[in-house]
Structure 1
Amino acid sequence: MAQIVNIRRDVDDKFYRYRMPLLLTKIEGKGNGIKTVIPNMTDVSKALSRPPTYTTKFFGFELGAQTSSDEKTDRYIVNGAHNSDKLRELLDVFIDKFVLCGSCKNPETDLVLTKNDAIFRDCKACGQQTGIDMRHKLATFIIRNPPKKTKKSKGAHASAANGNNGGTGSPHSGEDAGSDDEFTKRLKADAAELPTAEQAKVNEDDWSLDTSAEAVRARKLESAVASLTLGDGDDSEGEDADSPYTVVKLWVEENRTTITANDVFKKAQELGIDKKHRTLQILGRSLFTDKIVQELPKFVVLLKKMVTSDKGEISEKHQKALMGGIERLVGVDHPNLVPSVPKILMLLYQSDVLEEDFIKQWGTHVSKKYVDRETSKKYGKRANPPQVVG
């Protein structure tokens, strides 16, 4: 029985929960036929959620040696004599480059291969997608031998996710009140163009995410400049250049004057981030300009769809993320918009994007998560709850 060690061997914590068998090696043959057999490669790779062929091939590339993998006989070989310590050190490098999340360093990731042959580590712990070093030879091998599809449980998607809230909307909404004003009519017309929940749902059995030519251009553009500061909280952490959040931000900013709500939703869907609250933080800042009061009606249907869960409930986390992005837009990019905060909140409230209780809490709670405390205080004064929700 192989010894069990931490997946990150640099972590000296007996309560660290991510574990794997210690890599074992066995030297066979002699002379030109000498080779190193790894008898527990399958068990190690299973702990890392990576095919054993990837790890074996990585060893070969790093050592400049031929390798052979036979899944039927469970036999993985690296030509030449290589001691266990050397291969364990290389395994640590493989884990760092192809397993650990580039953001939180958690090993709970899956490899995602896009149709443009980019490879991401999709982290289940923090929700980030971080790129790998595409210059490494293993990247080419992964593209030619993509991860096999894995079955995942599919939750039922309620019809309310299509932009309606299943009849559980605010009693102040235009639709529930029977309003037939032009604004409400436009909302209904725009909502009809957005995909239904079934059409919008990303196939959870598919490892590939569809990214367009525009996304590729955006990634190239991002590679030419410094990483963006789009941290989930205080904007202090740089975003990976290949992150889908960076891609959607650059794409929106490049096409802001021509895109529709439907275009934005499809782009987020292609990148697999249409359900992520962080997407709303980025859209709240990048989708609008200092003309946000005039621009909002064009996109409120999109925002309503994205804050509404599959059960037809408006997510508080998504509301906070959206307002975080708008806080950055107003407090950092366009401070002259602070007096317009009540109008912005009213539009979002009347469109059922924000709930009354959320607005009241937001208008009275000073937070420095997205902007400094002084700017947050200015919002509080401008967003007097009675003014907003009347």
Structure 2
Amino acid sequence: MAQINIRRDVTDPFYRYKMERLQSKIEGKGNGIKTVIVNLSNVADNLARPPSYVIKYFGFELGAQTNIDPKDDRWIINGAHEASKLQDYLDGFIGKFVLCKDCKNPETVVQVKDASITLDCKACGQRTQADMRHKLSSFILKNQPKKGKKDKSTKKAERRARKEAERHGDEDGANGNGHPSPGDSGSDGADENGDVGDDAGSDDELTRKINEGAKDLPSEAGQEQDVQWSVDMSEEAVKARQKALPDDLKQTLVLDDDHEDGEGGGKTAYDELGDWIDDQAKELGGVNKISDVDVFKKAKELGIETKHRTPTVLAMSLFDDTIAKQIEARASFLRSIIGKSEKHEKAFMGGLERLVGELHPALIPTVSKILLPLYQEDIIEEEVLKAWGSKASKKYVDLATSRKVRKSAEPFLEWLETAESDDDDDEDDE
């Protein structure tokens, strides 16, 4: 499904806040014509708002009847309405009921109290009021969520918002006004222009639990906490790394109408990307010197910037012995490449498994420490991490190696289960 920036006025390709583009289809004819929004639930989940709020907003704007609680997940607006027109109206909903009025980030949680609707921003800490003049405000006041356990999408959105608040902790000092500068609002440029905090001053309970849990992640028996590794960057090692690409990456890829890459035993576009990264690493003095933008441009030049196999190549080529810190530094870029689908996330995990399992087995004891930033930075979804850890696979490495990698991941996976259950308990006690 095509992903677009939640704020469509932001053109930054690495903008962290994404949503699915609205898709609709028109059914019926005459007086019975209607528009079905096919993916409204997913879009609403991306915005951390109930689908009923979105469909009702469309109804008010269009002056049309809507169904606000369908049992079959078919969200319908009476009349014929093009998806592009609905997307424009969605921008209005986002501006009035999602974006923080102060920093313009969508990291807000709706709070309803005393006939007022407040948007509590987890990015800048401000609490601003939604547009109370709009008819949707009356609908929200009359249709507040039931008391009790929060639904999964709301919990997930709040958890992400709290993590983002932690990430921006020290940017207050960078700007001197408690929130991102106008030029950086809602964009990853804020991370590049401001200082990233070390979380010491974060008041977020879940953040503290995550960091405390991270400190307790055990290392391999008898192993020092700070292990020194080295990665062989010799020409022979680089060639060996590229030859180790799994077979599915060597399948042909059509780059234009007349030529299939890899035809006749030639290199695929994935081979070329991996070779280019290794060449750049040697030329610049390490993979850390390669910019995210240059990698993206190269992938786009090869026509594979959106392909699900590309994350596998990145996992195998873009990291060295300091991979955990490198993941944090490249988090924005990785989210933009990997966050397109679950298939992309699984492909990245496969490349990571091959990197630590076969190319650099000295990294196996540190798998838990590598997975932690993938979770904290919202690069790989919790469900994907759990599914990956539940069963060994021989798709990228041999079965014995796959089991070793997952064995090393057990401390993280156990901690993940504990952190999730603790979070649920805290929310139930509210």
- Taking structure 2 as the reference length, what is the TM-score of the superposition? 0.41
Structure with greater helix share of residues: 2
- Taking structure 1 as the reference length, what is the TM-score of the superposition? 0.45
